[in-house]
């Protein structure tokens, strides 16, 4: 049951930390103010009003009863009433009250006045809103009637507005202070999330300066330490590999020179083709590691980049389904190298190639399909390994190294994305690249 309730509440509660914290602060304040207001309004204000009205109606009844006595000094009564109670009386001789009452059920003053007048069995008419400071009351007396002009403060205490002001002002003040404080508390968390996101996407970020409460600061320090460790690790790896590649070139050149000393022509041919292949591998790797290390992220329009790459292939069989214009922030050269590798693979094996670009909610998709032989399921993981070629006979016709897909997946992963292989609707290979933005 509680699970259902919490699920229901979650749907309506705000998702962001700032608004949640604000709710935690503001809700008790609002509830407290509301309770105080209701208690005050009901027990104090309404009860005071009722008491005051009852006293006033009593006075008016006394006035009418004394006025109606045979021996009464009517003038004296009117004067005393006016002087000591502040109520003006006009006597309308031989007249009936013809006005119709404008009933205001929502006004507490009207309600208590009506109740008290009815209790004293008086035939009445009143208007509490015609004058600002005065209440107009008429009471029928046999064939004539009295018209009273009563100061409003005799019926109600006016402190309600001041009370409302005093109760809402501090509440507004507390909530404003809470907003300022909470904004300052959530900003460092947002900053950390943004930095992590950018780092995950392979962007170069400057040193992260932690700020905010100690726990958030701690998370920031740890993030910065982790970022440096990862960078160091990455640099170490690529420096080591490019060092090895570089060092291997010297003995390779030596071997090339030594070839000239061999007399067997057949042997020379086989050796030299092997040496050429090794040289190509090394060059390819060195080029990749030097490029990817140096490049900075930049903003570019993705559809246009794809179109440029396709144009370079000068192949009428490549179809492009462009999507909506989208400015992507990434390493442009690396990405174009990745797409280049994939299209190059397809042109090697297939005649028909289709490329599509799609923008989704938080990532973009680049889908490449061809009608070649495809890659069997059991090989789909292996082809991403460096220097892996499915079988010699496939790629023998064109000289290949086996680095294309592994470099491509490295580039995509360094942008925080994914690359997946499956079967195309044309029977060949389908490559789906997803990049977050
Ligand atoms: N579109 C494709 N259709 C069928 N097989 C493919 C396709 N793309 C790649 N392959 C297979 O996957 C293997 C690995 O591809 P990868 O691009 O990594 O290397 P390569 O093309 O052989 O060499 P390189 O790209 O370094 O010159 C290839 O040898 C090929 O057999
Ligand atoms: Mg290739």
Count Cβ atoms within 10 A of the Cβ of residue 108 and give its class: 0-12 exposed, 13-18 middle, 19 or more buried.
middle
CA of 300 to the centre of ligand 2 (A): 25
Confidence band of 272 (pLDDT split at 50, 70, 90): confident
Q: Which of 160, 191, 222 is the last residue of a domain?
A: 160
Q: What is the DSSP string of 238-288?
A: HHHHHHHHHHHHHHHHHHHHHHTT---HHHHHHHHHHHHHHHHHHHHHHHH
Q: What is the mean pLDDT of residues 60-78?
A: 88
Regarding the beta carbon of 372 and ligand 1, being less than 6 Å apart is answered yes
The dihedrals phi and psi of 155, each to the nearest 5 degrees, come to: -105, -25
**Ligand nearest to the backbone CA of 406:** 1
- Are 261 and 128 in the same domain? no
346 lines ligand 1 (CB under 6 A): yes
Question: Which residue's CA is the nearest one to ligand 1's atom 4?
Answer: 374
Residue 173 forms part of a structural domain: no
Label the pairing between strands 144-151 and 124-127: unpaired
Is 21 part of any domain?
Answer: yes
**Is residue 147 located within the same domain as residue 249?**
no
- Give the CA radius of gyration of the chain: 45
150 is a domain residue: yes
Residue having the nearest C-alpha atom to atom 20 of ligand 1: 402
Number of structural domains in the chain: 3
Same domain, 285 and 217: yes
Pocket-testing residue among 285, 340, 345, ligand 1, by greatest number of atoms within 8 A of Cβ: 345
Question: Mean pLDDT of all residues in the chain?
Answer: 87
Ligand nearest to the CA of 402: 1
Ligand 1 atom closest to the Cα of residue 407 is 18
pLDDT of residue 394: 57
Any ligand 1 atom below 6 A from CB of 373? yes
- pLDDT winner (highest mean) among 6-10, 46-50, 171-175: 171-175
> Do 329 and 414 share a domain, yes or no?
yes
Q: Are residues 87 and 150 in the same domain?
A: yes
Q: Are residues 136 and 34 in the same domain?
A: yes
Would you say the CB of residue 355 lies under 6 angstroms from ligand 1? no
111-150: pLDDT as tens digits: 888 999 999 888 899 988 888 889 999 999 888 899 999 9
How high is the pLDDT of residue 173? Answer: 92
Residue 264 lies in a domain: yes
Give the number of the atom of ligand 1 that is nearest the alpha carbon of residue 406.
18
Confidence of residue 96 (pLDDT cuts 50, 70, 90): confident
280 and 217 both lie in a single domain: yes
177 within domain boundaries: no
Residues 376 and 261 in one domain: no
* Sheet-wide strand order for 88-92: 88-92, 144-151, 134-141, 124-127
* Predicted local confidence at residue 1, as pLDDT: 59
Instruction: Supply the CATH number for residue 305's domain.
Output: 3.30.565.10
Q: What is the pLDDT of residue 262?
A: 85
Tell me, using a 6 A CB cutoff, whether residue 424 lines ligand 1: no
CA distance 413 to 416: 5
CA dihedral 114, 118, 124, 126 (to 10 degrees): -10
User: 414: closest CA among 239, 207, 204?
Assistant: 204
Residues 6+ apart with CB under 8 A from 258: none
- Give the span between the Cα atoms of 190 and 123, in whole angstroms: 71
Q: Is residue 140 part of a domain?
A: yes
**pLDDT tens-digit readout, 183-213:** 888 899 999 999 998 888 878 788 889 888 8
394 lines ligand 1 (CB under 6 A): yes
94 with 24, same domain?
A: yes
Name the pTM for this structure: 0.65
In a domain, 190, yes or no: no
Residue 227 confidence (pLDDT) above 80: yes
15-24, 288-297, 356-365, 368-377: least confident range: 288-297
- pLDDT, one tens digit per residue, over 301-349 is 999 999 999 998 877 889 999 989 999 999 998 999 999 999 999 998 9
Mind listing the pLDDT tens digit for each residue in 375-431?
A: 999 999 999 998 888 875 555 555 678 889 999 998 999 899 999 999 999 999 999
Ligand 1 atom nearest residue 384's Cα: 18
Residue that finishes a domain, picked among 160, 175, 209: 160
Q: How confident is the model at residue 226 (pLDDT cuts 50, 70, 90)?
A: very high
Residues of the chain above pLDDT 70, percent: 97
- Same domain, yes or no: 281 and 318: no
Can you tell me the mean pLDDT for 347-363? 93
- Residues 86 and 104 both lie in one domain: yes
Task: Indicate which CATH number applies to the domain containing 256.
Answer: 1.10.287.130
Q: Give yes or no: residues 271 and 145 share one domain.
A: no
Residue nearest to atom 1 of ligand 1 (CA): 346
In a domain, 418, yes or no: yes
The pLDDT, as a whole number, for residue 224 is 94
Say if residue 280's pLDDT is above 60.
Answer: yes
Q: What are the pLDDT digits (tens) for 145-171?
A: 999 999 988 888 766 677 778 888 988
The residue nearest atom 25 of ligand 1, judged by CA position, is 404
Structural domain that includes position 355: 298-436
Is residue 419 in contact with ligand 1, taking CB distance under 6 Å? no
Q: Is 342 in the pocket of ligand 1 (CB under 6 A)?
A: no
Atom of ligand 1 nearest to the CA of 383: 14
CATH number for the domain that contains residue 140 = 3.30.450
Residue 16's pLDDT band (cuts 50, 70, 90): confident
Cα separation, 142 vs 122, whole angstroms: 11
CA of 175 to the centre of ligand 2 (A): 62
What count of Cα atoms within 13 Å lies in the side-chain half-sphere of residue 177? 7
> What was the pLDDT predicted at 159?
65
């Amino acid at each position: 049951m509680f699970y259902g309730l919490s699920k229901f509440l979650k749907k309506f509660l705000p998702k962001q930390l700032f608004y949640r914290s604000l709710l935690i602060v503001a809700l008790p304040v609002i509830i407290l103010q509301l309770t105080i207001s209701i208690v005050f309004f009901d027990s104090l204000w309404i009860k005071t009003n009722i008491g005051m009205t009852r006293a006033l109606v009593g006075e008016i009844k006394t006035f009418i009863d004394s006025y109606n006595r045979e021996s009464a000094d009517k003038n004296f009564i009117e004067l005393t009433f006016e002087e000591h109670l502040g109520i003006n009386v006009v006597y309308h001789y031989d007249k009936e009250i013809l006005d119709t009452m404008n009933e205001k059920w929502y006004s507490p003053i009207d309600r208590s006045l009506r109740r008290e007048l009815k209790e004293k069995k008086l035939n009445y008419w009143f208007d509490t809103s015609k004058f600002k400071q005065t209440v107009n009351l008429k009471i029928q007396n046999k064939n004539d009637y009295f018209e009273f002009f009563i100061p409003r403060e005799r019926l109600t205490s006016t402190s309600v507005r001041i009370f409302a002001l005093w109760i809402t002002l501090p509440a507004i003040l507390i909530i404003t202070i809470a907003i300022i404080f909470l904004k300052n508390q959530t900003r460092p968390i947002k900053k950390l999330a943004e930095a992590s996101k950018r780092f995950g996407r392979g962007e170069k970020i400057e040193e992260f300066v932690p700020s905010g409460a100690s726990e958030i600061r701690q998370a920031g320090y740890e993030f910065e330490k982790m970022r440096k460790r990862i960078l160091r690790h990455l640099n170490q790896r690529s420096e080591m590999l490019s060092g090895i590649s570089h060092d291997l070139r010297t003995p390779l050149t030596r071997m090339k020179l030594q070839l000239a000393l061999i007399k067997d022509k057949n042997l020379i041919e086989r050796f030299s083709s092997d040496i050429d292949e090794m040289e190509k591998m090394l060059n390819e790797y060195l080029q990749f590691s030097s490029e990817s290390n140096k490049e900075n992220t930049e903003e570019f329009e993705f559809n246009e980049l794809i179109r440029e790459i396709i144009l370079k292939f000068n192949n009428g069989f490549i179809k492009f389904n462009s999507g909506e214009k989208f400015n992507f922030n990434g390493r442009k050269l690396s990405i174009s190298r990745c797409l280049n590798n994939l299209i190059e693979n397809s042109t090697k094996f297939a005649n028909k190639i289709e490329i599509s670009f799609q923008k989704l909610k938080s990532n973009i998709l680049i889908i490449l399909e061809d009608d070649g032989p495809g890659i069997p399921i059991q090989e789909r993981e292996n082809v991403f390994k460096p220097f892996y070629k499915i079988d010699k006979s496939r790629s023998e016709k064109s000289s290949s190294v086996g680095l294309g897909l592994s470099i491509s997946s490295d580039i995509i992963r360094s942008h925080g994305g994914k690359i997946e292989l499956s079967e195309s609707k044309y029977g060949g290979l389908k490559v789906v690249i997803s990049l977050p933005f």
